[in-house]
Structures are given as structure tokens and as C-alpha cells.
Amino acid sequence: MSRPLDLPAFARPARPARRRKHLWPMLFIAPFFVLFLVFGVYPVIFSAVLSFQEWNGAPGQQVWVGWQNYASLFQDRYFWSSMTNSVLIFLLHFPVMTLGGLVLAVILNENRLRFQGLWRAMIFLPHLTSMVAAGITFRLLFERDSGLVNRMLGGVGIPAVPWLDNEWWARVAVGILLVWAWTGYQMVIFLSALQTIPGEVNEAALIDGAGRVQVFWKITVPLMRPAIVFVTTLSVIGTFALYTEPVILTGGGPIHATTTPTMEIYAQAFNNIRYGYGAALSYVYFAIVVAATLLQLRLTNRGQG
């Protein structure tokens, strides 16, 4: 069994063959890499340059303004309130969604439950939906007088909630849409993580007299830590990047209560045609998301190794 490609270096017929050996992998990677440089790397650099300019997009009209965009950005209360809105929307939906996803995964992992595939499919279904379609539907559901939600609440004697007309309720409404769209996704991830935990671990604990709630908090949750950290990171980044859901459901209102950073950057760049300022916003936004992600990883990994 001679393997011609694994000969030691000194035995190889020197240069030309070596160059040919590198030719194919380079060609395999080239299509990806050319596009990656043009549409991945270049715009990010271009954006950094743009953030020091004022430009309305007309060719040759760029004006170098130094740090001025960054300076005025710190006075921009709409931008900062969009950041706060993201944090609030995150706090409103993340605990419900993640705890819900975990509990559902544990339930669907029970072999006492039948039709597991059916439940999993139904709960996962919202994740497939375009957020435009879902946003319009939720707008009808949250309608003050004719919306199904208020009518159901009315059925049990709760007065109508001004879902889309009140700052706080609008944030809750966006949160509910996010819980609806993402709980099934988290459940699927947690379910696959759960299936790597041997069943004996839980059974041993149960036999030793632990209650199911105790097993959940003391055994299941710690064993699933990597999956929980993953979805948390994804949610932090995803909530800051939120766009379609609030645009369609609330239009960012009322009174900017559900405007997100991406909406703010979009508005500055494409409504006010301030490309330079938009680029500066996007870089500060990027820095804050990185900081938030690092902070979150520190918190979620605390006490680990």
C-alpha cells in the first residue's frame, strides 16, 4: 500500500508538483473568498471610513468631518433610547422563552408522552413563518377592540389592554411575538442537548428521592449549560439586531418605545440620507453588542471551571 501523496518532503519531486498540489484547494476556496473580500470585508472597512464623513450619496460629495459623527451620536437620545428599548425587550421575553424552551424540551423528552413528533412540529412551526406575515397577524390579534387577545381577556373579565397604544404594552407585545417565534427553536436545540444526557442520571436522582423540580434545576439545567449559553448569546445578539418584528407590529411606536438600533440606523441612512452618520451609529452599535456579549458570556460562565 504505497500512498504517493503522503511521502515525506525530501522524497517529493520538488517544486512544480507542490505548486500543483496547492492549485486545487486554492481554486476551491477562490469563489467564496473573492466574494467574501468584495461583499464581506470591503463594506466593513468602507463603513469605518464613511463614519468619519458626511455624505448624502451623491458621487464626489463626501465631506470629511473627523469625529463629529461620533460626537453628535453621544447626544442622540433616539439612538440611546433604541438601545434601552432593546435591553427592555430582551428582559421582557428572554426569561419566558428560555425557561419555556427548557421545560418543553424536558417534557417532550419524557417517554410517557405520546405523539412527541406532532407536538414538536406544532411548537416549532412559528419559527418557519416570515416575520412580516406574523407581524401583521399579531397586529390583528392585539387590536384593541376586535383583537382576539382582548376578547379572550374580556371573556374572563379582564378589561381591554391597549397593546399597541401604550409604551410598555407595545414592548410586551413585541416580546410575546418573539416568545411565539423562538420558543420552539430553543426547544429543538435543548431537546438535542438533552438527548446526549444519559437517562440514568435523572433516574438515579429520582430514585434517591429528588423531586422532579429539583432534578430539573440541580441536574438538567447544569448539564445543559453549553446549550443555554449558546441560545443566550444568540438572543442577546438577535434582540439588538431586531428589525422586522417591531417594524411590522408596532412601527417602532408608540413614541419610539419599540424602535430598535437597526431601525434607527436604517432611518438615519435611508430616510434622512445621512450615510456617514448611519455608519458611525452602526460601529458604536457593533461595539456595544460585542461588550454586551462578552458581559453575558462572563455571567453565564460564572462558576464554571
Partner 1 sequence: MTRTAVQAASVPAPAQRKPRPRPPILLYTVVIAVSAFAVLPFVWMVLSSLKPLTEIFGQGFLPQNPSLDNFRRLFAETPALRALFNSFFIAILSTAGSLLFCSLGGYGFAKFNFPGKNALFSVMLVSMTIPFVVGLIPTFIMMRNWFHWIDTPWPLVVPGLANAFGVFFMRQYLSTVPDELLDAARIDGASEPTIFFRVVVPIITPALASLGIIFFMASWNNYLWPNIVLRDPNAQTLPVLIAGLQGSAGRTPYDLMMAGAVVSVIPMLIVFLALQRYFYSGITAGAVKG
Asked if residue 59 binds partner 1 (CB under 8 A), the reply is: yes
Stretch of residues binding partner 1 (CB under 8 A), selected from 3-11, 65-73, 79-87, 155-163: 3-11
Over the window 246 to 285, marking each residue x when it contacts partner 1 by CB under 8 A and - when it does not, the resulting string is -xx------------xx--xx--xx----x--xx--xx-x
Task: Compute how many residues bind partner 1; rule: CB under 8 A.
Answer: 103
Over the window 163 to 202, marking each residue x when it contacts partner 1 by CB under 8 A and - when it does not, the resulting string is -----------------x--xxx--xx--xx---------
Using CB under 8 A, which residues numbered 66 to 95 contact partner 1?
none
Of the candidate residues 92, 105, 227, 257, the single one contacting partner 1 (CB under 8 A): 227
Nearer to partner 1, 88 or 247 (CB): 247
Using CB under 8 A, which residues numbered 13 to 32 contact partner 1?
22, 24-26, 28-29, 31-32
Using CB under 8 A, which residues numbered 38 to 57 contact partner 1?
39-44, 46-47, 50, 57
Asked if residue 286 binds partner 1 (CB under 8 A), the reply is: yes
Contact in structure between 183 and 101 (CB atoms under 8 Å) = yes
Closest CA to 265 of 252, 281, 253: 281
Using CB under 8 A, which residues numbered 113 to 142 contact partner 1?
113-114, 119, 121-126, 128-134, 136-138, 140-141
Nearer to partner 1, 50 or 88 (CB): 50
Nearer to partner 1, 52 or 243 (CB): 243
CB of 296 to partner 1, least distance (A): 13
